Amino acid sequence: MIETLYRTDTPEKGRSEFYVLVLTARPASQGRVYTFMEEHGYWDGRLERMLHEVVSISAEGDLSQEQARTMYDASRKRLAQRGFVHSFVRGCRSKGPHTDQPSELETASA
C-alpha cells in the first residue's frame, strides 16, 4: 500500500508539502515479513526545488503485519493531527479528507 498525504485537496505538483506512507509485504523463509517507510517531501525556497527525505523506515527486522500496520496507523494519525488529511492512493483519488480505512497491503515480489 502506498498512500500520499497532503494538507490541501488540490496539491501543486513540485511545490506542495507531502508525506508518502508505504507498507509492503515481501516473501521470507517463514512466510511473509512486512516493511514500513515514511517519506517527507517539501519545497525548499532557498534551493528552489523539492527535497525528499526518508523520515522513518523499518526494513531490517522481520515485522509482522500487525507491527507494520501499527506503525503505519500511528504515522497516519500523527500526520492527520498536523493537517495532512487529503489522501491520494494509486488507482483512486478522494475528493475529501481521508477516513480511517486505508486500502489493502501491496505485496512485493521476490
Q: What is the pLDDT of residues 44-77, one digit of tens each?
A: 989 999 999 998 787 667 788 999 999 999 999 9
pLDDT for 79 beyond 80: yes
Amino acid 46: pLDDT: 92
User: How many whole angstroms separate alpha carbon 26 and alpha carbon 31?
Assistant: 9
Amino acid 92: pLDDT: 55
User: How many whole angstroms separate alpha carbon 62 and alpha carbon 91?
Assistant: 29
Question: Model's pTM, two decimal places?
Answer: 0.76
Tell me which residue range forms the domain holding 49: 2-107
48: left (phi over 0), alpha (psi -120 to 50) or beta: left
Q: How many domains does the chain have?
A: 1
Cell of 70: 501499527
